Structure 1
Protein backbone atom coordinates (compact mmCIF):
# COMPACT_ATOMS: atom_id res chain seq x y z
CA UNK A 1 0.00 0.00 0.00
CA UNK A 2 1.55 3.24 -1.15
CA UNK A 3 0.58 6.48 0.57
CA UNK A 4 1.88 9.90 -0.37
CA UNK A 5 1.19 12.77 1.99
CA UNK A 6 1.06 16.16 0.21
CA UNK A 7 3.43 18.12 2.47
CA UNK A 8 3.79 21.00 -0.01
CA UNK A 9 0.03 21.43 -0.17
CA UNK A 10 -0.03 22.08 3.60
CA UNK A 11 3.21 24.06 3.85
CA UNK A 12 1.50 27.28 5.00
CA UNK A 13 -0.26 25.76 8.06
CA UNK A 14 2.87 23.77 8.93
CA UNK A 15 5.01 26.90 8.67
CA UNK A 16 2.51 28.84 10.81
CA UNK A 17 2.55 26.17 13.54
CA UNK A 18 6.35 26.10 13.46
CA UNK A 19 6.65 29.90 13.70
CA UNK A 20 4.12 30.02 16.56
CA UNK A 21 5.97 27.27 18.45
CA UNK A 22 9.30 29.08 18.01
CA UNK A 23 7.74 32.39 19.08
CA UNK A 24 6.27 30.75 22.19
CA UNK A 25 9.64 29.19 23.04
CA UNK A 26 11.48 32.49 22.58
CA UNK A 27 8.82 34.28 24.64
CA UNK A 28 9.39 31.82 27.50
CA UNK A 29 13.16 32.23 27.26
CA UNK A 30 12.98 36.03 27.37
CA UNK A 31 10.35 36.23 30.12
CA UNK A 32 11.41 33.37 32.40
CA UNK A 33 15.02 33.02 31.32
CA UNK A 34 17.07 29.86 31.44
CA UNK A 35 17.15 27.63 34.49
CA UNK A 36 20.90 27.40 34.77
CA UNK A 37 22.42 24.92 37.16
CA UNK A 38 24.90 25.83 39.86
CA UNK A 39 27.79 25.32 37.43
CA UNK A 40 26.64 28.12 35.12
CA UNK A 41 24.97 30.48 37.57
CA UNK A 42 27.29 30.41 40.50
CA UNK A 43 26.02 29.58 43.94
CA UNK A 44 25.70 26.74 46.37
CA UNK A 45 23.57 23.63 46.31
CA UNK A 46 23.17 21.66 49.50
CA UNK A 47 21.25 18.41 49.87
CA UNK A 48 19.87 17.40 53.25
CA UNK A 49 18.09 14.34 54.53
CA UNK A 50 15.76 14.91 57.46
CA UNK A 51 14.65 12.31 60.00
CA UNK A 52 11.27 13.98 60.43
CA UNK A 53 8.68 15.38 58.05
CA UNK A 54 9.52 18.99 57.20
CA UNK A 55 7.97 21.32 54.67
CA UNK A 56 9.77 23.60 52.28
CA UNK A 57 8.19 26.60 54.02
CA UNK A 58 9.54 25.48 57.41
CA UNK A 59 13.04 25.27 55.95
CA UNK A 60 12.65 28.67 54.27
CA UNK A 61 11.58 30.23 57.60
CA UNK A 62 14.48 28.56 59.41
CA UNK A 63 16.95 30.08 56.94
CA UNK A 64 15.33 33.52 56.69
CA UNK A 65 17.60 34.98 59.40
CA UNK A 66 20.67 34.32 57.25
CA UNK A 67 19.52 36.89 54.64
CA UNK A 68 20.60 34.76 51.70
CA UNK A 69 18.17 36.38 49.29
CA UNK A 70 16.37 34.24 46.76
CA UNK A 71 16.70 30.52 47.35
CA UNK A 72 15.21 27.44 45.78
CA UNK A 73 14.09 24.61 48.04
CA UNK A 74 13.06 21.44 46.25
CA UNK A 75 11.98 18.07 47.63
CA UNK A 76 13.51 15.10 45.80
CA UNK A 77 13.61 11.35 46.16
CA UNK A 78 10.77 9.32 47.60
CA UNK A 79 8.44 10.98 50.15
CA UNK A 80 9.66 8.62 52.89
CA UNK A 81 13.27 9.79 52.49
CA UNK A 82 12.56 13.42 53.45
CA UNK A 83 15.31 14.82 51.22
CA UNK A 84 15.52 18.49 50.31
CA UNK A 85 17.81 20.36 47.95
CA UNK A 86 18.58 23.99 48.80
CA UNK A 87 20.03 26.18 46.05
CA UNK A 88 21.20 29.72 46.87
CA UNK A 89 23.16 32.36 45.04
CA UNK A 90 26.40 32.97 46.83
CA UNK A 91 26.80 36.22 48.73
CA UNK A 92 30.13 38.02 48.52
CA UNK A 93 31.17 36.62 51.90
CA UNK A 94 30.28 32.96 51.65
CA UNK A 95 32.83 31.29 53.88
CA UNK A 96 31.37 28.21 55.55
CA UNK A 97 27.96 28.66 53.95
CA UNK A 98 27.20 24.96 54.39
CA UNK A 99 28.02 25.19 58.09
CA UNK A 100 25.83 28.29 58.47
CA UNK A 101 22.85 26.60 56.81
CA UNK A 102 23.32 23.39 58.78
CA UNK A 103 23.53 25.32 62.07
CA UNK A 104 20.36 27.29 61.28
CA UNK A 105 18.47 24.11 60.34
CA UNK A 106 19.70 22.23 63.42
CA UNK A 107 18.59 25.15 65.57
CA UNK A 108 15.08 24.89 64.12
CA UNK A 109 14.67 21.12 63.74
CA UNK A 110 16.99 19.83 66.45
CA UNK A 111 20.53 18.52 66.34
CA UNK A 112 20.83 15.05 64.82
CA UNK A 113 17.54 15.35 62.90
CA UNK A 114 19.22 16.18 59.62
CA UNK A 115 22.27 15.22 57.66
CA UNK A 116 24.11 17.22 55.00
CA UNK A 117 24.54 14.71 52.18
CA UNK A 118 26.13 16.86 49.50
CA UNK A 119 27.44 20.38 49.01
CA UNK A 120 28.43 21.99 45.71
CA UNK A 121 29.80 25.51 45.46
CA UNK A 122 30.72 27.56 42.40
CA UNK A 123 31.68 31.22 42.61
CA UNK A 124 29.64 33.76 40.60
CA UNK A 125 32.62 34.77 38.46
CA UNK A 126 33.39 31.16 37.56
CA UNK A 127 29.72 30.51 36.73
CA UNK A 128 29.59 33.53 34.43
CA UNK A 129 32.78 32.44 32.68
CA UNK A 130 31.47 28.88 32.21
CA UNK A 131 28.20 30.22 30.78
CA UNK A 132 30.11 32.39 28.29
CA UNK A 133 32.31 29.47 27.25
CA UNK A 134 29.27 27.22 26.83
CA UNK A 135 27.61 29.70 24.43
CA UNK A 136 30.87 30.09 22.48
CA UNK A 137 31.15 26.30 22.24
CA UNK A 138 27.61 26.07 20.85
CA UNK A 139 28.36 28.72 18.22
CA UNK A 140 31.66 27.04 17.32
CA UNK A 141 29.89 23.68 16.93
CA UNK A 142 27.37 25.25 14.52
CA UNK A 143 30.22 26.62 12.40
CA UNK A 144 31.92 23.22 12.36
CA UNK A 145 28.63 21.58 11.33
CA UNK A 146 28.29 24.08 8.48
CA UNK A 147 31.79 23.26 7.28
CA UNK A 148 31.38 19.48 7.61
CA UNK A 149 27.96 19.28 5.95
CA UNK A 150 29.13 21.61 3.19
CA UNK A 151 32.25 19.54 2.56
CA UNK A 152 30.64 16.11 2.93
CA UNK A 153 27.41 16.78 1.01
CA UNK A 154 26.88 20.19 -0.57
CA UNK A 155 27.46 23.71 0.68
CA UNK A 156 23.87 24.59 -0.24
CA UNK A 157 22.56 22.00 2.25
CA UNK A 158 24.65 23.18 5.20
CA UNK A 159 22.74 26.34 6.26
CA UNK A 160 19.38 24.57 6.01
CA UNK A 161 20.57 21.65 8.12
CA UNK A 162 22.00 23.89 10.85
CA UNK A 163 18.92 26.16 10.84
CA UNK A 164 16.72 23.05 11.16
CA UNK A 165 18.81 21.94 14.13
CA UNK A 166 18.49 25.37 15.80
CA UNK A 167 14.75 25.31 15.08
CA UNK A 168 14.39 21.91 16.75
CA UNK A 169 16.34 23.03 19.81
CA UNK A 170 14.26 26.20 20.16
CA UNK A 171 11.02 24.26 20.11
Structure 2
Protein backbone atom coordinates (compact mmCIF):
# COMPACT_ATOMS: atom_id res chain seq x y z
CA UNK A 1 0.00 0.00 0.00
CA UNK A 2 1.42 3.39 -1.04
CA UNK A 3 1.38 6.16 1.55
CA UNK A 4 0.15 9.02 -0.59
CA UNK A 5 -2.24 11.14 1.45
CA UNK A 6 0.30 11.54 4.28
CA UNK A 7 2.37 13.64 1.85
CA UNK A 8 -0.55 15.88 0.95
CA UNK A 9 1.40 19.03 1.89
CA UNK A 10 4.01 18.15 -0.75
CA UNK A 11 1.40 17.52 -3.46
CA UNK A 12 -0.47 20.72 -2.58
CA UNK A 13 2.78 22.72 -2.58
CA UNK A 14 3.73 21.53 -6.07
CA UNK A 15 0.33 22.49 -7.46
CA UNK A 16 0.21 25.83 -5.66
CA UNK A 17 3.69 26.73 -6.94
CA UNK A 18 2.70 26.05 -10.57
CA UNK A 19 -0.58 27.91 -10.24
CA UNK A 20 0.92 30.92 -8.44
CA UNK A 21 3.64 31.28 -11.09
CA UNK A 22 1.02 30.96 -13.83
CA UNK A 23 -1.40 33.43 -12.26
CA UNK A 24 1.39 35.95 -11.57
CA UNK A 25 2.46 35.70 -15.22
CA UNK A 26 -1.17 36.10 -16.26
CA UNK A 27 -1.42 39.28 -14.20
CA UNK A 28 1.67 40.80 -15.85
CA UNK A 29 1.49 39.42 -19.39
CA UNK A 30 -2.09 38.29 -19.80
CA UNK A 31 -3.42 35.45 -21.90
CA UNK A 32 -2.48 35.34 -25.56
CA UNK A 33 -6.06 35.50 -26.81
CA UNK A 34 -6.58 34.35 -30.38
CA UNK A 35 -8.79 35.94 -33.00
CA UNK A 36 -11.84 34.04 -31.69
CA UNK A 37 -11.65 36.11 -28.50
CA UNK A 38 -10.02 39.42 -29.46
CA UNK A 39 -11.38 39.77 -32.95
CA UNK A 40 -9.44 40.00 -36.20
CA UNK A 41 -9.43 38.81 -39.80
CA UNK A 42 -9.35 35.28 -41.23
CA UNK A 43 -8.34 34.84 -44.89
CA UNK A 44 -8.87 31.48 -46.63
CA UNK A 45 -6.81 30.78 -49.76
CA UNK A 46 -6.84 27.69 -51.98
CA UNK A 47 -3.35 26.72 -53.09
CA UNK A 48 -4.57 23.67 -55.03
CA UNK A 49 -1.21 21.89 -55.00
CA UNK A 50 1.47 20.67 -52.63
CA UNK A 51 3.17 23.54 -50.81
CA UNK A 52 5.49 24.33 -47.94
CA UNK A 53 3.66 26.30 -45.27
CA UNK A 54 6.95 27.69 -43.93
CA UNK A 55 7.30 29.65 -47.19
CA UNK A 56 3.93 31.35 -46.65
CA UNK A 57 4.45 32.42 -43.02
CA UNK A 58 7.09 35.13 -43.86
CA UNK A 59 4.70 36.63 -46.41
CA UNK A 60 1.85 36.76 -43.89
CA UNK A 61 4.09 38.17 -41.16
CA UNK A 62 5.00 41.12 -43.40
CA UNK A 63 1.42 42.35 -42.94
CA UNK A 64 0.86 41.12 -39.37
CA UNK A 65 3.82 40.08 -37.22
CA UNK A 66 1.53 37.86 -35.14
CA UNK A 67 -0.21 36.23 -38.12
CA UNK A 68 -1.02 32.53 -37.79
CA UNK A 69 -0.96 30.37 -40.93
CA UNK A 70 -2.76 27.02 -40.82
CA UNK A 71 -3.06 24.29 -43.41
CA UNK A 72 -6.55 22.87 -43.86
CA UNK A 73 -8.05 20.14 -46.03
CA UNK A 74 -8.06 20.45 -49.80
CA UNK A 75 -4.66 22.17 -50.10
CA UNK A 76 -6.05 25.33 -48.55
CA UNK A 77 -4.67 27.65 -45.91
CA UNK A 78 -6.12 30.13 -43.46
CA UNK A 79 -4.21 33.24 -42.43
CA UNK A 80 -5.39 34.75 -39.17
CA UNK A 81 -4.30 38.20 -38.08
CA UNK A 82 -5.48 40.64 -35.46
CA UNK A 83 -4.02 43.73 -37.16
CA UNK A 84 -4.52 42.61 -40.77
CA UNK A 85 -6.63 45.30 -42.47
CA UNK A 86 -9.04 44.99 -45.38
CA UNK A 87 -6.70 47.13 -47.50
CA UNK A 88 -3.77 44.75 -46.90
CA UNK A 89 -5.63 41.56 -47.85
CA UNK A 90 -5.38 42.13 -51.66
CA UNK A 91 -1.64 42.80 -51.29
CA UNK A 92 -1.18 39.69 -49.20
CA UNK A 93 -3.11 37.55 -51.66
CA UNK A 94 -1.25 39.10 -54.59
CA UNK A 95 2.11 37.92 -53.24
CA UNK A 96 0.85 34.39 -52.56
CA UNK A 97 -0.93 34.35 -55.93
CA UNK A 98 2.30 35.24 -57.76
CA UNK A 99 4.34 32.67 -55.82
CA UNK A 100 1.98 29.75 -56.55
CA UNK A 101 0.48 30.94 -59.85
CA UNK A 102 -3.05 31.15 -58.44
CA UNK A 103 -6.27 32.51 -59.90
CA UNK A 104 -8.41 35.32 -58.50
CA UNK A 105 -11.08 32.87 -57.34
CA UNK A 106 -8.52 31.06 -55.18
CA UNK A 107 -9.13 33.73 -52.56
CA UNK A 108 -11.91 31.66 -51.04
CA UNK A 109 -13.12 33.75 -48.13
CA UNK A 110 -12.37 36.76 -46.00
CA UNK A 111 -14.01 36.87 -42.58
CA UNK A 112 -13.78 39.70 -40.08
CA UNK A 113 -14.47 38.79 -36.45
CA UNK A 114 -15.35 41.84 -34.40
CA UNK A 115 -14.52 42.34 -30.71
CA UNK A 116 -18.22 41.96 -29.84
CA UNK A 117 -18.18 38.42 -31.23
CA UNK A 118 -15.03 37.71 -29.27
CA UNK A 119 -16.68 38.99 -26.11
CA UNK A 120 -19.69 36.74 -26.70
CA UNK A 121 -17.35 33.77 -27.20
CA UNK A 122 -15.67 34.45 -23.86
CA UNK A 123 -19.01 34.73 -22.10
CA UNK A 124 -20.32 31.51 -23.65
CA UNK A 125 -17.13 29.67 -22.76
CA UNK A 126 -17.33 30.82 -19.14
CA UNK A 127 -21.00 29.82 -18.85
CA UNK A 128 -20.27 26.40 -20.38
CA UNK A 129 -17.56 25.67 -17.82
CA UNK A 130 -19.65 26.90 -14.87
CA UNK A 131 -22.71 24.84 -15.90
CA UNK A 132 -20.58 21.73 -16.45
CA UNK A 133 -18.89 22.07 -13.04
CA UNK A 134 -22.20 22.70 -11.26
CA UNK A 135 -23.83 19.61 -12.78
CA UNK A 136 -20.80 17.53 -11.83
CA UNK A 137 -21.03 18.77 -8.24
CA UNK A 138 -24.71 17.83 -8.07
CA UNK A 139 -24.09 14.38 -9.55
CA UNK A 140 -21.14 13.49 -7.31
CA UNK A 141 -22.87 14.82 -4.19
CA UNK A 142 -25.90 12.68 -5.02
CA UNK A 143 -23.93 9.54 -5.86
CA UNK A 144 -21.38 9.79 -3.06
CA UNK A 145 -21.53 12.68 -0.59
CA UNK A 146 -21.20 16.44 -0.55
CA UNK A 147 -17.59 16.35 0.68
CA UNK A 148 -16.61 14.11 -2.23
CA UNK A 149 -18.31 16.51 -4.64
CA UNK A 150 -16.48 19.56 -3.29
CA UNK A 151 -13.13 17.71 -3.32
CA UNK A 152 -13.73 16.67 -6.95
CA UNK A 153 -14.64 20.23 -7.99
CA UNK A 154 -11.52 21.62 -6.30
CA UNK A 155 -9.49 19.08 -8.27
CA UNK A 156 -11.19 20.28 -11.47
CA UNK A 157 -10.39 23.88 -10.58
CA UNK A 158 -6.78 22.74 -10.13
CA UNK A 159 -6.76 21.23 -13.63
CA UNK A 160 -8.21 24.37 -15.21
CA UNK A 161 -5.69 26.65 -13.47
CA UNK A 162 -2.72 24.41 -14.29
CA UNK A 163 -3.72 24.26 -17.97
CA UNK A 164 -4.20 28.01 -18.10
CA UNK A 165 -0.83 28.48 -16.36
CA UNK A 166 0.91 26.46 -19.07
CA UNK A 167 -0.79 28.55 -21.76
CA UNK A 168 0.21 31.79 -20.05
CA UNK A 169 3.81 30.73 -19.49
CA UNK A 170 4.27 29.53 -23.09
CA UNK A 171 2.08 32.33 -24.53
CA UNK A 172 0.11 29.83 -26.61
CA UNK A 173 -2.87 31.43 -28.43
CA UNK A 174 -6.20 30.72 -26.75
CA UNK A 175 -9.05 30.07 -29.17
CA UNK A 176 -12.21 27.97 -29.55
CA UNK A 177 -10.16 24.76 -29.69
CA UNK A 178 -8.88 25.55 -26.22
CA UNK A 179 -12.45 25.80 -24.87
CA UNK A 180 -13.48 22.50 -26.46
CA UNK A 181 -10.37 20.85 -25.04
CA UNK A 182 -11.02 22.35 -21.59
CA UNK A 183 -14.50 20.84 -21.43
CA UNK A 184 -13.04 17.51 -22.54
CA UNK A 185 -10.43 17.74 -19.78
CA UNK A 186 -13.13 18.37 -17.16
CA UNK A 187 -14.97 15.24 -18.25
CA UNK A 188 -11.81 13.12 -18.30
CA UNK A 189 -10.58 14.34 -14.92
CA UNK A 190 -13.92 13.88 -13.15
CA UNK A 191 -14.17 10.35 -14.50
CA UNK A 192 -10.75 9.53 -13.06
CA UNK A 193 -11.72 11.04 -9.70
CA UNK A 194 -15.01 9.13 -9.59
CA UNK A 195 -13.15 5.84 -10.03
CA UNK A 196 -11.11 6.56 -6.90
CA UNK A 197 -14.12 7.74 -4.88
CA UNK A 198 -16.10 4.70 -5.99
CA UNK A 199 -13.37 2.43 -4.62
CA UNK A 200 -13.31 4.45 -1.39
CA UNK A 201 -17.04 3.88 -1.00
CA UNK A 202 -16.72 0.14 -1.64
CA UNK A 203 -13.82 -0.23 0.79
CA UNK A 204 -15.62 1.83 3.42
CA UNK A 205 -18.56 -0.58 3.28
CA UNK A 206 -16.20 -3.48 3.99
CA UNK A 207 -15.19 -1.82 7.25
CA UNK A 208 -11.72 -3.36 7.35
CA UNK A 209 -9.76 -0.09 7.37
CA UNK A 210 -9.28 1.53 10.75
CA UNK A 211 -9.22 5.19 9.66
CA UNK A 212 -9.84 7.45 6.69
CA UNK A 213 -6.13 7.83 5.96
CA UNK A 214 -5.64 4.08 5.55
CA UNK A 215 -8.89 3.86 3.58
CA UNK A 216 -7.76 6.58 1.18
CA UNK A 217 -4.30 5.06 0.67
CA UNK A 218 -5.72 1.61 0.04
CA UNK A 219 -8.27 2.91 -2.47
CA UNK A 220 -5.67 4.95 -4.37
CA UNK A 221 -3.28 1.98 -4.47
CA UNK A 222 -5.98 -0.33 -5.80
CA UNK A 223 -6.93 2.06 -8.62
CA UNK A 224 -3.40 3.30 -9.39
CA UNK A 225 -2.65 0.72 -12.08
CA UNK A 226 -5.92 1.52 -13.81
CA UNK A 227 -5.20 5.27 -13.72
CA UNK A 228 -1.67 4.85 -15.09
CA UNK A 229 -2.75 2.49 -17.88
CA UNK A 230 -5.61 4.79 -18.88
CA UNK A 231 -3.50 7.94 -18.99
CA UNK A 232 -0.68 6.24 -20.91
CA UNK A 233 -2.93 4.81 -23.62
CA UNK A 234 -4.72 8.15 -23.95
CA UNK A 235 -1.46 10.11 -24.08
CA UNK A 236 -0.01 7.81 -26.76
CA UNK A 237 -2.95 8.66 -29.00
CA UNK A 238 -3.14 12.40 -28.25
CA UNK A 239 0.64 12.85 -28.50
CA UNK A 240 0.68 11.11 -31.89
CA UNK A 241 -2.07 13.44 -33.08
CA UNK A 242 -0.11 16.43 -31.81
CA UNK A 243 3.11 15.35 -33.54
CA UNK A 244 1.58 14.29 -36.85
CA UNK A 245 -1.55 16.46 -37.04
CA UNK A 246 -2.15 19.73 -38.83
CA UNK A 247 -1.91 22.97 -36.79
CA UNK A 248 -5.67 23.17 -36.13
CA UNK A 249 -5.59 19.67 -34.62
CA UNK A 250 -2.47 20.47 -32.62
CA UNK A 251 -4.25 23.40 -31.00
CA UNK A 252 -6.83 20.94 -29.68
CA UNK A 253 -4.34 18.22 -28.75
CA UNK A 254 -1.90 20.36 -26.73
CA UNK A 255 -4.31 21.43 -23.97
CA UNK A 256 -5.59 17.84 -23.86
CA UNK A 257 -2.07 16.56 -23.14
CA UNK A 258 -1.57 19.11 -20.36
CA UNK A 259 -5.06 18.58 -18.94
CA UNK A 260 -4.91 14.78 -18.99
CA UNK A 261 -1.64 14.79 -17.08
CA UNK A 262 -3.00 17.35 -14.63
CA UNK A 263 -6.29 15.47 -14.30
CA UNK A 264 -4.60 12.20 -13.45
CA UNK A 265 -2.37 13.97 -10.93
CA UNK A 266 -5.28 15.79 -9.27
CA UNK A 267 -7.43 12.65 -9.01
CA UNK A 268 -4.72 10.90 -7.03
CA UNK A 269 -2.83 13.65 -5.23
CA UNK A 270 -5.39 16.45 -4.82
CA UNK A 271 -9.01 15.24 -4.68
CA UNK A 272 -8.51 12.25 -2.38
CA UNK A 273 -6.20 14.02 0.12
CA UNK A 274 -8.71 16.92 0.33
CA UNK A 275 -11.50 14.43 1.05
CA UNK A 276 -9.38 12.64 3.65
CA UNK A 277 -8.37 15.85 5.45
CA UNK A 278 -11.99 17.03 5.53
CA UNK A 279 -13.21 13.68 6.88
CA UNK A 280 -10.51 13.57 9.54
CA UNK A 281 -11.30 17.15 10.59
CA UNK A 282 -14.97 16.29 10.91
CA UNK A 283 -14.15 13.19 12.91
CA UNK A 284 -12.01 15.17 15.38
CA UNK A 285 -14.71 17.80 15.73
Determine the C-alpha separation between the residues in 1 that align with 2:45 and 2:119: 27
Question: Relative to total residues, which structure has the larger helix share, 1 or 2?
Answer: 2
Match of 1:146 among 137, 153, 156: 137
Q: Would you say how many aligned residue pairs link Structure 1 and Structure 2?
A: 152
CA RMSD of aligned residues (A): 3.4
Determine the C-alpha separation between the residues in 2 that align with 1:7 and 1:28: 31
Question: Relative to total residues, which structure has the larger strand share, 1 or 2?
Answer: 1
1:20 Cα deviation (Å)?
A: 0.9
Aligned residue in 1 for 2:229: none
Aligned residue in 2 for 1:94: none
Match of 2:92 among 94, 99, 105: 105
Q: 1:106 to 1:165 in 2, by over 3 A?
A: closer
User: Map of 1:52-131 to 2, 5 A cutoff?
Assistant: 54=55, 56-61=57-62, 63=63, 72-77=66-71, 85-89=79-83, 97=86, 100-108=87-95, 111=98, 113-114=101-102, 115-131=106-122
Determine the C-alpha separation between the residues in 1 that align with 2:93 and 2:42: 18
Determine the C-alpha separation between the residues in 2 that align with 1:134 and 1:142: 12
Q: 1:118 to 1:27 in 2, by over 3 A?
A: farther
Q: Is the 8 A contact 1:90 1:124 kept in 2?
A: no
Does residue 42 of the first structure (1) align with residue 39 of the second (2)? yes
TM-score, normalisation: structure 1: 0.66
Q: Is the 8 A contact 1:73 1:84 kept in 2?
A: no
Match of 1:15 among 12, 16, 27: 12
Unaligned runs of at least 5 residues, structure 2: 163-285
Q: 1:125 to 1:101 in 2, by over 3 A?
A: same
TM-score, normalisation: structure 2: 0.43
